[in-house]
Amino acid sequence: MTIQNELQTTINAMVQKGKGILAADESSPTIAKRFKAIDVESTEENRRYYRSLILSTPNLGDFISGVILFEETLTQQNDDGIMLPELCTQQGIVPGIKVDAGKLALPNAPGDEITEGLDGLALRLEKYKKQGARFAKWRCVYHISDTTPSQVAIEANAEVLARYAAICQSQGIVPIVEPEVLIDGNHSLSDCVEVSEAVFHEVFHALHRHNVVLEHIVLKPNMMVPGKESAHKATPEEVAIQTIKVLRRTVPAAVPSINFLSGGLTPEKATAYLNAMNQMSQQPWELTFSYGRALQEPALKAWQGNSANSHNTQAALFKRAELNGAARYGKYSEKMEHE
């Protein structure tokens, strides 16, 4: 199979009507924070048990087409000795892997950050592919303030995302390209729109420069929302209208799927906003989800680190996946939260 055919086969499996992607790629500090909230210690065994529990949720593949895994998870097994990537495959879910090495301060750009991890990426991808990963994810973040993001940060992060995507495609790995304009702060909805438009434009200019095949990527952007400390709380309709406006200005129709990140939104809001977008007129791309906390938060609360809560944990995850599956068709309603 040629690399192009391999990439297309993976895209076909990842981009399916009514389905989205589960982000289960929390870094060690992030999963420790999530576990601490439920008073569970973040040991390797607890992480293995929890992730094997959610990945074995019955019928999860009805609404989830791909799962982003943390590197540690690629090498772990469930209690029956089945490798966790294989557990995904058995559910008809494509396993993927977070490959960036985290973010650090961008020199000469106070308040801005850059994501690292390009060195040796091709060799790492070769190894991950042998372990079952068929797609990858790389996240760059942009802070909104009076001085950020700078043009330096917008251009540098776009270049990094494009280089990562090109390396992935050369290895037969589908890249998820994640430019995240952060929700932190008190900025307005219009500030988010302005910054996101500039960021997305620059990302696609860079992808074009690096000859990245747009038909073989997935875009994972933020939605257009005001800062979480803003006095104005946008309605789902406002979020939908502004998000679609920015995407139509910046994202070529060749991109098959836009899988939104939840980025600090509550599970209910993340679902409602996606639903509002899918109630609008037909768009050139699939509009779906790639949520982490907005899918897993109810499951974590149900689990509490207790194996006796396994059924309730899986039921909570399945329900959120099902609700987001309905939002893919614009058929979600708030009353479904209580059914």
Active-site residues, by number, are 178, 220
CA 68 remoteness from chain centre: 8
- Beta-strand ranges (E) seen in the chain are 20-24, 64-69, 94-98, 103-105, 113-115, 135-142, 174-181, 218-219, 257-260, 286-291
Burial of 170 (0-12, 13-18, 19+ CB in 10 A): exposed
| Residue 98, phi then psi, degrees to nearest 5 | -75, 125
b/e code 54-83 from CB counts within 10 Å (16+ = b): bbbbeebbebbbbbbbbbbbbebebeeeeb
Question: DSSP secondary-structure letter at 327?
Answer: H
Burial of 10 (0-12, 13-18, 19+ CB in 10 A): buried
Closest CA to 323 of 9, 63, 60, 17: 63
Cβ atoms 199, 181 nearer than 8 A = yes
Closest CA to 106 of 63, 152, 147, 145: 152
**What is the rounded distance in angstroms from the CA atom of residue 95 to the CA atom of residue 97?**
7
Scanning the structure block, which residue is given the tokens 């996101």?
196
